[in-house]
Amino acid sequence: MFVFFALVVQLVAQVLCEVAPAPPQNIHVENWLVKWTPGTEDTDVTYTVRYSSFDSNEWINVPACVKISSTSCDVTSLKAVDALGCVKLHIHAQRRGLKSSLVKACSSHGDSCTPEVNLTARPGSLFVHLSSDHSLAREYAGHVKHKVCYGKEGEPLRKCKDSVASMSIDGLQEGQRYCVKVQYIYHSEDLVGLPSCTQCERTLETKNESNHAGIVVAVVVPVACVFFVGLLMAYILIFHCKKIKKLMQPPCQIPPEFLLDPSDRPPVYIICPSEEQCDVISRITME
């Protein structure tokens, strides 16, 4: 009896101390294939994928993705749910009846229901490249916009702006990483399709641009000076060669006698040496 009571107490304590599993991470969709990373190393965890259509707030289990142990699931069947195939997805983990919190899925590539997003970093701002010519705009005109949410990396993306096309997010701190997530919105109320997966960029710093400009100037100016000096020397050597030669000649002075009339020139006397006197040697005596 005591042993049975101890087992009951242990079982009740285990149930009361049981905690829900960690939610899945990195949930994204690629060509209607949902993929995620387990949030826990436990092997007895299952996952369920749920969806909601464009014009409904009801969440329904995807038949092929209920309590599965794998980390991916094909949701191609959801194309028939909506005319444009615009559905929202979220996933939760489950273990022994306890469920984790829900995590929304995002699309890693733009499609008919997810915006194509590209970021360009600027000093103290980010420019978000968006297209105004997409399938939803052609279907619903200006009633569909982009909901752009942003914030510092690691913080919730709580600041949001609506925009028809590309936009700039100003007033950011320089040299800080900011993240952006974009989703279509209908009539400024209803979110449509999957949001884009979060993208992050570091804003530029003004001083970095100044240093870069200084380096460019320091390199370009000497090269330009050498180039123009070379052109100037080539021009002088080609078109002023005679003048240069004339300037390089040594000074020459003509004697004043050469400028007089021949009759007025002083006579020039040529002195020839007299003939040498020689004696005839008649005899040589050896000493």
* C-beta separation of 161 from 175 below 8 A: no
Residue 21 has φ and ψ, to the nearest 5°, of -70, 160
Q: What is the pLDDT of residue 15?
A: 46
Q: What is the pLDDT of residue 283?
A: 64
Assess whether 200 and 141 both reside in one domain.
Answer: yes
Assess whether 32 and 100 both reside in one domain.
Answer: yes
In tens digits, the chain (287 residues) has pLDDT values of 555 554 544 544 444 456 889 999 999 999 889 999 998 887 789 999 999 987 777 899 999 999 999 999 999 988 888 767 789 999 999 998 899 999 999 998 877 889 999 999 999 999 999 988 887 888 787 788 999 999 999 999 999 999 999 999 999 999 999 999 999 998 878 888 899 999 999 999 986 545 566 677 778 888 888 888 888 777 777 766 677 666 666 666 666 666 556 665 566 555 555 556 666 666 666 65
Q: How many residues does the chain have?
A: 287
Sequence-ordered list of residues with C-beta below 8 angstroms from that of 177, at least 6 positions apart, any chain:
152, 153, 200, 201, 202, 203
Q: How far apart are CA 240 and CA 244, in angstroms?
A: 6
Q: How far apart are CA 148 and CA 117, in angstroms?
A: 10
CATH of the domain at 77: 2.60.40.10
Q: What is the pLDDT of residue 73?
A: 95
Number of domains making up the chain: 2
287 within domain boundaries: no
183 within domain boundaries: yes
Alpha helices, H only, the chain: 2-17, 135-140, 206-239, 241-248
* Of 182, 206, 230, the domain-final residue: 206
pTM for this entry: 0.63
224 within domain boundaries: no
* Of 162, 184, 206, the domain-final residue: 206
Q: What is the pLDDT of residue 266?
A: 61
Domain boundaries, position 88:
18-107
Alpha helices, H only, 23-141: 135-140
Task: Determine if residue 6 is left, alpha or beta; phi over 0 gives left, psi from -120 to 50 gives alpha, anything else beta.
Answer: alpha
Q: What is the pLDDT of residue 8?
A: 45
* Of 63, 80, 107, the domain-final residue: 107
Assess whether 188 and 143 both reside in one domain.
Answer: yes
Assess whether 78 and 149 both reside in one domain.
Answer: no
12 within domain boundaries: no
Q: What is the pLDDT of residue 196?
A: 94
**Coil, strand or helix: which one is 127?**
strand
Assess whether 145 and 80 both reside in one domain.
Answer: no
Q: What is the pLDDT of residue 267?
A: 61
233 within domain boundaries: no
217 within domain boundaries: no
Q: How far apart are CA 260 and CA 243, in angstroms?
A: 31
- Among the listed residues 90, 68, 92, 89, the one whose alpha carbon sits nearest the alpha carbon of residue 78: 89
36 within domain boundaries: yes
Q: How far apart are CA 255 and CA 208, in angstroms?
A: 73
Assess whether 94 and 29 both reside in one domain.
Answer: yes
In this structure, what DSSP letter does residue 31 have? T
| Encoded tokens for 257 | 């006698």
262 within domain boundaries: no
Q: What is the pLDDT of residue 9?
A: 43
